[in-house]
Chains A and B, each alone.
Chain A
Amino acid sequence: MATAIATDVEWETVIGLEIHAQLATRSKIFSSSATAYGAAPNTQANLVDLGYPGVLPVLNAEAVRMALKFGLAIGARIERRSVFARKNYFYPDLPKGYQISQYELPIVAQGSLDVVLDDGTRKRIGITRAHLEEDAGKSLHEGLPGVTGIDLNRAGTPLIEIVSEPDMRSAKEAVAYMKKVHTLVRYLEICDGNMQEGSFRCDANVSVRPRGQQKFGTRAEIKNLNSFRFVEKAINYEIERQIELIESGGQVVQETRLYDPDKGETRSMRSKEEANDYRYFPDPDLLPVVIEDALLETVRASLPELPDQKAARFASQYGLSEYDAGVLTASREMGAFYEEVVTRVGGKDAKLCANWVMGDFSALLNRDNLELALAKVDAAGLAGLITRIVDSTISGKIAKEVFEAMWDEGTSADAIIEARGLRQITDTGAIEQAIDAVMAKNPGQLADYRSGKDKLFGFFVGQVMKATGGKANPAQLNELLKKKLAG
């Protein structure tokens, strides 16, 4: 019999993520095959990847270094001795019948990352562990009626699985954390972060409990989410599903679920009872991974400036808000782009540069759906434009028009300013001339203004601007107009 549940219970969501990041090594984790994406099926699978009789795995040292980079970057404990185990199950895209993965003794243990939430508060998300493992191949169905094709190009690609603590309390927090990890792995250059190609994906463990309850609710695991949007939608759907289920007297069962992006819902894949017994045991073909001090220090020395460090530096060095500093350091490329712009502008006007990079520049990148590296205006170009604002050659308003022209035509700010005659009028005589003409043309308004209608000042500004094609320097115009109108 279903237990009656008070429906005014306030529910708390508990989320933990398992992120799989493909390591950007040139060759596979246990073989010398290339890892490049998109090759014809099975052209990047050698005998080791195919699991031929008699072949043996040999650990790629670069994958270990990359895992260490990650561990050091999240302030984790580096396990000096970690062990590869075999996870045994049958599947056609798993050639050996087992996946080699670190199980009881992972290389990275206990670290954390801070995320900034929408309301500006910081939250620390614990990272239980990060371990090395090999990816499986792919089953192909499209264009193969009646049969299943196997592509083992991906088999043996190195992955680092990053397992968080159940520290997140909403889908938004989960996305903020996932984005933070995404930023970090690209900073470290250990993962290309390409989510469409599956280089960065996650499983989400979701449960709900009445607020105040200590014990976790029963969780469902949503598999293979490969976009931030899907993560948010899938988790929100799952939260609703679980609450509705419990409130209507049902019980959440521990199971694996799949998110269907077309329908926007999750559905059961297999329950706990149907789950495989993976029969993990240490892989006797591989020795324990022993990390010596010297290696750890070499890796530590190779770490780049990390996102949080860079954001803090941007805030203090350039006087930016925490928010702006965070946006500008969201990727290593963006940070470098911003710094180049500021440097070229002369190290001053950092806030103006930030506004341009985050504003018009990012807007056009988004509009054209371009990566930063493919932007139509480079850092030098944007700096050239900002320099013309700073030296009063053009106004900020005209600059927007110039920028769009630069983007479309691929030329410099100066060329466009010249060609279109957009140079700002800063010649006092010329501005005064224009003011005199406007005053002469509008004697009625002039009389009204002088008799106390202050509001008409804006009318005169507009008229002068119109007469000068918007090119009059606004500050000068204000000053001169005030003087002239006063009589």
Chain B
Amino acid sequence: MSALPIHRRTLTGLAKGLKRREFSSVEVTRSYLGRIAASQPDLNAFITVTGEAALAAAAVADARLASGQAGPLTGVPLAHKDIFCTEGVLTTCGSKMLANFVSPYDATLVARLRDAGTVMLGKVNMDEFAMGSSNETSHFGPVRNPWNTAMVPGGSSGGSAAAVAARIAPAATATDTGGSIRQPAALCGVTGIKPTYGRVSRYGMIAFASSLDQGGLITLSAEDAALLLGAIAGFDPRDSTSVDTPVPDYTATLGDSLEGLRIGLVRQFFDKGLDARCEAQIRAALAVYEKLGARLVEVDCPNLPLSVPTYYVVAPAECSSNLARFDGVRFGHRCADPKNLIDLYRRSRGEGFGAEVKRRIMTGTYVLSAGYYDAYYLKAQRVRQLISRDFAQAFTQADVLVGPTSPVPAFPLGSKTADPITMYLNDIYTIGANLAGLPGMSIPCGFVEGLPVGLQIVGPHFSEARMLNAAHRYQTETDWHLQLPAAYA
């Protein structure tokens, strides 16, 4: 058997190789560090590379591997989205506001992965405070799509998706508030999973919209996602919204039969906004599922088209409050020579936040204001209930819902930045799951003009095992997820 180069292995493959001592964690880590450095001018996927610490952690992992005390993830490298607090390491959230912020603590997700023996390569780029769908709002410059560097990688977890697609990291953590894991995964041709709201602790994940934010993963395969999800999922006493239900072994059910699986096709997911070439790829994927024994049923979610406006009331409202702590007083950017308190606030925030963040803070402040609260915030919360009800109804007819992740493939940098509404509409298929707290995935299912297309799977609450099973079976029938951009082969 000819040895597969390190970077072409999945995370599961790396873990196996490490176990068999085919290579050491230091070798693997060094390989990725080299690829990161080489890619940085083109992709700009990383904000911070923690090379030295990574090699030190890899050496510790190697010792554990040698002594036979290793766990399933010992020595596997990965990257963290720069929204997760990492002790002693710069944690910028893609913002000038936190360009100088070294976190004094680890997020729960970071601590769990470290305790599982993974090696952190560094912190990946993202839209500022996770607000964006193209990674163009980052203070540290846009990330580029490895399939075509004229194109955006999607956002807000654009750095995570681009890094995995370019194999400069075998996996990356990510977060999803309205599609920020699934949409970039789709645009970069990788696997993304946003777990059920409450499945993964939000402690240490810098909040954008607390009722929607959920940490998750971007990987090369459903199998990799299953392996990592087992390490990050579970109740955290430091997050009141995390849910105390047992975490199953997600890898155990990956190969289960899909015979009789009821796949719901949401009528509203195949509307006129969907690019016809993308739709063709989606339909082809559905045919694969039929071959695997699944049944297709059409379901209706009549309130789903309201998800974008609903989201753009709820998310900005929460963000306007969540981002109030960035006031120049205790951490982060502080303006030079403040004249008085108001001047300190105005200039620190005015200088520290970018345009999109300001737009959302203003929108959120407006919808929560006296006289507007009922008309906007309360009404949006009611619509949110209706959308949740639509999904609940759909899940009486279907086990999972399958459709497109994004209406279009990756688009050129700068093409949508002038019109926020056009940009917001990119998340039209993904936002519903966030509003209802449902788990969702995106897996690669083909290409349009050399750009990847993503297939979205949405399941009922805590159905991650079933979703991963459906994704894995598809990935055993297809090899879209193993394609890699020529420049990074």
Q: Which residues of A are in contact with B by a Cβ distance under 8 Å?
A: 47, 50-59, 86, 88, 90, 92, 95-98, 148, 150, 277, 279-281, 284-287
Contacts and interface: CB of A to CB of B under 8 A. Distances in A.
A97 B91 contact: no
Enumerate the 3 nearest inter-chain pairs by beta-carbon distance, A residue then B residue, closest first. A97-B324, A279-B368, A284-B211
B270 interface: no
A162 B257 CA distance: 60
B318 interface: yes
Contacts of B326: 53
Given A95-B325, A279-B365, A285 B85 contact: no
B52 to A, nearest CB: 24
A116 B326 CA distance: 50
11 contacts: A53-B101, A53-B325, A54-B103, A54-B203, A88-B320, A90-B345, A95-B330, A98-B321, A279-B320, A284-B241, A285-B210
Nearest to B83: A54
Contact of A284 (B101, B318, B332): B318
A336 to B, nearest CB: 39
B317 interface: yes
A54 B107 contact: yes
Contacts of A96: 324-325
Contacts of B103: 52-54
A58 B238 contact: yes
B321 A281 contact: yes
A90 B348 CA distance: 13
Contact of A277 (B318, B332, B369): B369
Nearest to B323: A97
A88 B366 CA distance: 13
A58 B240 contact: yes
A286 B239 CA distance: 9
Given A92-B329, A97-B324, A277 B91 contact: no
Contacts of B104: 47, 52
Nearest to B345: A90
A286 B327 CA distance: 23
B203 A90 contact: no
**Interface majority SS (helix, strand, loop, mixed), chain B:** loop
Given A98-B324, A277-B369, A285-B210, 18 more contacts: A47-B104, A52-B325, A52-B331, A53-B91, A53-B326, A56-B239, A58-B239, A92-B341, A97-B321, A97-B325, A97-B327, A279-B320, A279-B369, A281-B318, A284-B209, A285-B207, A285-B240, A286-B241
Contacts of A53: 85, 91, 93, 98, 101, 103, 206-207, 325-326, 331-332
Nearest to A92: B329
Given A47-B105, A52-B104, A97-B325, A57 B240 contact: yes
A53 B203 CA distance: 10
A24 B414 CA distance: 57
A55 B203 contact: yes
A279 B321 contact: yes
B157 to A, nearest CB: 16
Given A52-B104, A277-B370, A281-B321, A287 B93 contact: no
Nearest to B207: A54
Contacts of A284: 209-211, 241, 318
Contacts of B321: 86, 88, 97-98, 279, 281
Contacts of A280: 368, 373
A154 B12 CA distance: 49
B311 interface: no
A285 B241 contact: yes
Contacts of A59: 240
B445 to A, nearest CB: 34
A312 to B, nearest CB: 43
- The listed residue with most A CB atoms (<10 A of its CB), out of B240, B320, B323, is B240
Interface size, B (range): 35 or more
A56 B237 CA distance: 10
Given A97-B321, A285-B210, A56 B240 contact: yes
A286 B320 CA distance: 17
Contacts of B202: 56
B46 interface: no
Contacts of B101: 53
A90 B328 CA distance: 11
Contacts of A281: 317-318, 321, 368, 373, 377
A149 B324 CA distance: 20
Contacts of B370: 277, 279
Contacts of B207: 53-54, 285
Interface centre among A54, A96, A97 (most CB of B within 10 A): A54
Contacts of B209: 284
Given A92-B329, A96-B325, A56 B318 contact: no
Interface in B321-355: 321, 323-327, 329-332, 341, 345
Residue among A52, A86, A150 having the largest count of chain B Cβ atoms under 10 Å:
A52
A95 B326 CA distance: 9
Contacts of B369: 277, 279
Contacts of A279: 320-321, 365, 368-370, 373
Contacts of B98: 53
Contacts of A51: 325, 330
B370 to A, nearest CB: 5
B204 interface: yes
Contacts of B238: 56, 58
Contacts of B15: none
Contacts of B331: 52-53
Contacts of A90: 324, 327, 345
Given A50-B330, A95-B330, A58 B241 contact: no
A457 to B, nearest CB: 81
B465 interface: no
A92 B344 CA distance: 10
A147 to B, nearest CB: 11
B329 A287 contact: no
A54 B103 CA distance: 10
Interface in B433-447: none
B205 interface: yes
Interface string B85-106: 1000001010000100101110
B55 to A, nearest CB: 27
Nearest to A98: B321
Counting chain A CB atoms within 10 Å of each CB, the highest count among B85, B204, B329, B331 belongs to B329
Given A51-B325, A54-B206, A97-B321, A287 B373 contact: no
Nearest to B98: A53
Contacts of A56: 202-203, 238-241
Nearest to B365: A279
A33 to B, nearest CB: 14
Contacts of B377: 281
A446 B408 CA distance: 127
B324 A88 contact: yes
A199 to B, nearest CB: 26
A57 B240 CA distance: 7
Contacts of A55: 203-204
A198 B320 CA distance: 31
Nearest to A283: B210
B123 to A, nearest CB: 13
A280 B211 CA distance: 16
Contact of A58 (B84, B107, B205, B237): B237
A277 B318 CA distance: 16
A279 B104 CA distance: 31
Contacts of B84: 54
Contact of B368 (A52, A88, A95): A88
A133 to B, nearest CB: 16
Contacts of A277: 369-370
A287 B242 CA distance: 10
Nearest to A277: B370
A280 B321 CA distance: 10
B135 to A, nearest CB: 20
Contacts of B93: 53
A110 to B, nearest CB: 25
